[in-house]
Amino acid sequence: MKTSNFDFSLPPELIAQKPARPRESAKLLQVFSDGNFRDVYIKDLPALLKAGDLLVVNNTRVIPAQLSGKIFSTEKKVRVNLHKQKSNGVWLAFAKPAKKLLLNDKIFFSSTFFALITDKQPFGQITLKFNLVGATFLKALKKFGSMPLPPYIKRSGKVHPSDKTDYQTTFASRDGAVASPTAGLHFSMNLINDLKRCGIRVAPITLHVGAGTFLPIKTDTINHHRMHSEWVEINARTANLINKTRKAGGKIIAVGTTVLRTLETAVDTEGNIHPFKGKTDIFIAPGHQFKTVDLLITNFHLPKSTLFVLVSAFCGLNRMKNAYKYAIKKKYRFFSYGDASLLELRKKS
């Protein structure tokens, strides 16, 4: 399919710059499998779901992956965005301005926290080997780094202090993401407790979201797109709970595309979920046969992105285009800090 089929025009004023407060006050567009829509709110989820249903959430935690430092040899300032861990203490990163950087340059982020450039690639990508590893590296990162907001969230100067909590989900418990699994941002502890009181259970998976989630598809056709890989884990408890819920007739609701991609990675041909730990580069596009999920809660995504391709596979391209056209008309807020949709899996033809 042509990538241009997944393009649409979005008024820039609909790109959310701040989240809804409280979190569950965000709008929610229900998209049914018959093509109808309904305007509700995230806070309505306990009434929209049933006892015995299961919400699967991503418990990754965003690390403060944006660093400002100085090149040791020249004292020139440089900004670094970590985007993928290669090994303990070794990261791929994007640097600005990259032209100033040379192989074996040292970048100091403080007198005790620095990194050596061990490789340079096109488009400003570098490999950094830090002087710290493990827990001491994370401690330094949390002290000297800032939250890596996506480029469409504009801030004058530094990231706002509130972004430290706003861009982190309530479920966040495992460090490793450089972007937030944004569907989870809508859930407060009050909402989670309301869901549990209604007999709706919650189970975690982990997918450490990479910066590739923001990249548009640059090939003319989606089949030529090369998907980035991300580290995932689904433990035995969550796998068993999903399988038991399905057998009992409950619905599986994926909170976000990262959850859906994880489950579709860990499922067998019979539809059973298995424990899994490793990397996934699954690219879900129209034609994909879904085996794991009945409903998907997800934000409104960028045009020509792998995420818009995914939701088009889940609902059907025409239905998704109509839903986005409706959302724009109704002034839903888009992208990471925006509103959400509750998508019903398309019926098999």
CATH code of residue 118: 2.40.10.240
Domain count across the chain: 2
- Whether 205 and 234 map to the same domain: the answer is yes
Domain end, chosen from 112, 144, 176, is at 144
49/90 same-domain check: no
Q: What SS3 state is found at 17?
A: coil
Q: Are residues 51 and 79 located together in one domain of the fold?
A: no
The Cα 305–Cα 59 span in angstroms is: 23
Name the pairing type of β-strands 125-130 and 252-255: unpaired
Q: Whole-angstrom Cα distance, residue 335 to residue 91?
A: 27
Last residue of a domain, one of 144, 174, 195: 144
- 245 contacts 254 by C-beta, under 8 angstroms: no
How much is the pLDDT for 92? Answer: 95
Residue 160: inside a domain: no
Question: Which range marks the domain in which residue 128 is found?
Answer: 66-144
Considering the domain architecture, whether residues 75 and 190 belong to the same structural domain is answered as no
Question: In whole angstroms, what is the distance from residue 141 CA to residue 69 CA?
Answer: 12
Q: Which residues of the chain have pLDDT under 70?
A: 157, 349
Neighbouring CB atoms inside 10 A of 97's CB total 11
Check residue 191 and report its DSSP letter: H
Report residue 213 CA to chain centroid gap: 7
Is 0.85 topped by the overall pTM?
yes
Q: Give the number of other Cβ atoms within 10 Å of residue 264's Cβ.
A: 20
In this structure, the answer to whether residues 46 and 93 fall within a common structural domain is: no
The residues pairing with 222 across neighbouring beta strands, listed in sequence order, are none
Residues 307 and 192 in one domain: yes
Q: How far apart are CA 308 and CA 284, in angstroms?
A: 10
Q: Which one-letter amino acid corresponds to residue 10?
A: L
Sole residue written with tokens 């001491």: 136
| Per-residue pLDDT, 258 | 98
Backbone CA torsion sign across 164, 165, 166, 170: positive
pLDDT of residue 221: 98
The whole-angstrom separation of Cα 207 and Cα 171 is 12
pLDDT score recorded for residue 349: 63
* Helices 306-315, 317-329: inter-axial angle, 10-degree rounding: 110
Judgement on whether residues 28 and 43 belong to the same structural domain of the protein: yes
- 28, 86: one domain: no
